[in-house]
Amino acid sequence: ETGVTQSPTHLIKTRGQQVTLRCSSQSGHNTVSWYQQALGQGPQFIFQYYREEENGRGNFPPRFSGLQFPNYSSELNVNALELDDSALYLCASSLGQGITGELFFGEGSRLTVL
């Protein structure tokens, strides 16, 4: 079975630009969530998608948006980038929207905003 894969692995943007990050969930997993991990900090929950709908959101502004596709892959879009958006963005997948045990993380996309 394939694990969670994310792209791109690294990218550099300037303040005010927009970015799209992509995630392919683990085979058979229908729930995807996105986390932001600033340097030296733990991951922070951005939002969760289940069956192509957002059904949970953390304390992030609306310029953070996402999509989940019928094959359960997902995108994270961030508009009007700010310097504080520089972080590792992690995608995680699991089977089912509730607590079922293991949450599988990808290796992340490292975003630098200049």
Partner 1 sequence: QKEVEQDPGPLSVPEGAIVSLNCTYSNSAFQYFMWYRQYSRKGPELLMYTYSSGNKEDGRFTAQVDKSSKYISLFIRDSQPSDSATYLCAMSVGDNYGQNFVFGPGTRLSVLP
Interaction mask 85-114, partner 1, x per CB under 8 A: -----x-x-x-xxxxxxxx-xxxx------
Backbone angles phi, psi at 85, to 5 degrees: -80, -10
Q: Which of 96, 79, 78, 93 is nearest to 36 (CA)?
A: 78
Interaction mask 12-31, partner 1, x per CB under 8 A: -------------------x
On the 0-12 / 13-18 / 19+ scale of CB atoms within 10 A, 75 is: middle
**61-80: contacts with partner 1 (CB under 8 A):** none
Q: How does DSSP classify residue 50?
A: E
Residues binding partner 1: number (CB under 8 A): 29
Binding site for partner 1 (CB under 8 A): 4, 31, 33, 35, 40-45, 48, 55-56, 58, 90, 92, 94, 96-103, 105-108
